[in-house]
Amino acid sequence: MPLTIKKYIGRGPSTSKEIQAATGLSQSSVARRLREMRDSVVQIQEGRLIRYAATCNAFGADDKIPLGIIDHTGKAKVVAFIRPLIHGGFFLEPLHSISNLLLGERGNGLYDGLPYFLYDLRPQGYLGRQVAREISKWHDDFPSDPRQWTNKHIGKYLISNGDDLPGNFIFGEQAFIRIRRRATPVTINNYPKLAENVMKGELPGSSAGGEQPKFTAFKSDHPSPAASGNRSHVIVKFSPKGNNDVAQRWRDILVTEYHASRIIRESIYLSAETNLFEMDGRLFLETQRFDRFGEFGRASMVSLQSIDNEFVGLGHSWPKIMNELFTQNLVPEQDVLTTERLWYFGQLINNTDMHPGNLSLTMERNSFRLLPCYDMCSMGFAPKSGGEAQPFLFDASDIPDANFSQEELERLKRLAHTFWNNVTKDERISEEFKRFLDQGNPLEPIIQQSK
């Protein structure tokens, strides 16, 4: 018995000739019936060929889910529809002319799973686990660990909670309706209470990745919500309360991040602006969000990890991934060189956590551009997963020189040397950290070698 067109293209994208062979229908009959199926069929361009695929409802929504972006003023615009396909995968159907980057590696909008730029919006890290645990309390089909979530879980989450996520993408009709929901401004005096709430499992602000305890907030320099003044969206990391070894170690890490961001911003590249506050037995590192403008404006932000997964597939090394993207004309050469500088500087300050999820890019027309640096700190000193703070150890002499001119290498080494000097002088570091640094600047031996 011949297959129906819907059943056949439900197995995967097919050309008209393939459909004719499978169904026994003539070319004109296939063309007529495809027209009759209207919006339940999508056309996928592959070179000169057109393939047809059947759509299906997904995530508790229909088969045509709006994908939007929010501009710097806060205005939302639908740019495409995500079309779930019966055979699995998704098709991005442009509403009008869009960046080729949205169409993925194949260049035609066909994805095996959710589009790569939506994966960064799923719950991740410390806050992500809290989000997943909270959802799993009320919905048995959601795993409590977000790392076990499938496309089905991520899609449902984004449709229900997609109005205040990293970057500027919004997904699903509900997110468009809620997009102008006003943020509640807070002052730095609220930070201790917000930290306590996070430790109790509450979820203030939007989700943000990363393993350190943190919260997001809309900060105001005036306590009255009705008052005017400086306001901005921030991410705030905080140390454990008290002065035990682990709490002091995390305070030390936050101090290194503060000084690293200043050095980078002044001498290497754009870096997120940071401030440190000591309150209620904790140290707070406040970082200005660069994916937010004013109260409602947003900017695109996609992690190098997601971009790598779609276009390269290396899984490690910022410079190697960026070089591969450059060969595909997806990033400018200057951004590759900047990334190499950041990578080398990170090694010189004992940053052992430079995974692809800790570098982000923005979309500019048909090219990715490097965003300001963030999360640059001396993570090699961080407590181990079991909670133990190991003795301070760091030997910079084993770090291989990067592929720069001798002049540039010396400049980066001097910047790292200045970083360690600045950290040493900071009165907020622990006595143990100070004793370690008083033994000598970790960069001094390799600077002396190069003289």
Residue 302 Ramachandran class (φ > 0 left, ψ -120 to 50 alpha, else beta): beta
**Nearest Cα to 246, choosing from 445, 387, 398?**
387
| Two structure tokens written together for 14 | 């097919």
**Nearest Cα to 375, choosing from 119, 123, 125?**
125
| Two structure tokens written together for 309 | 């997964």
Distance, in Å, from the CA atom of 349 to the CA atom of 11, rounded to the nearest integer, reads 52
Distance, in Å, from the CA atom of 181 to the CA atom of 179, rounded to the nearest integer, reads 6
Contact 80, 98 (CB under 8 A): yes
Q: What is the DSSP letter of 2?
A: P
- From the list 353, 401, 426, 438, the catalytic residue is 353
End-to-end CA distance of the chain: 83
Dihedrals phi, psi of 32, to nearest 5 degrees: -65, -45
Q: What is the DSSP letter of 373?
A: B
**Crossing angle (nearest 10°) for helices 318-327 and 304-311:** 50
**Whats the size of the chain, residue-wise?**
451
**Nearest Cα to 118, choosing from 71, 75, 84, 73?**
84
Note if 245 is an active site residue: no
**Nearest Cα to 206, choosing from 179, 224, 239, 240?**
179
For 196-263, give the DSSP string.
HHHHTT---SS---SSS-EEEEEEESSS-TTS-S-EEEEEEEEPPSSSSHHHHHHHHHHHHHHHHHHH
List the catalytic residues.
Answer: 353
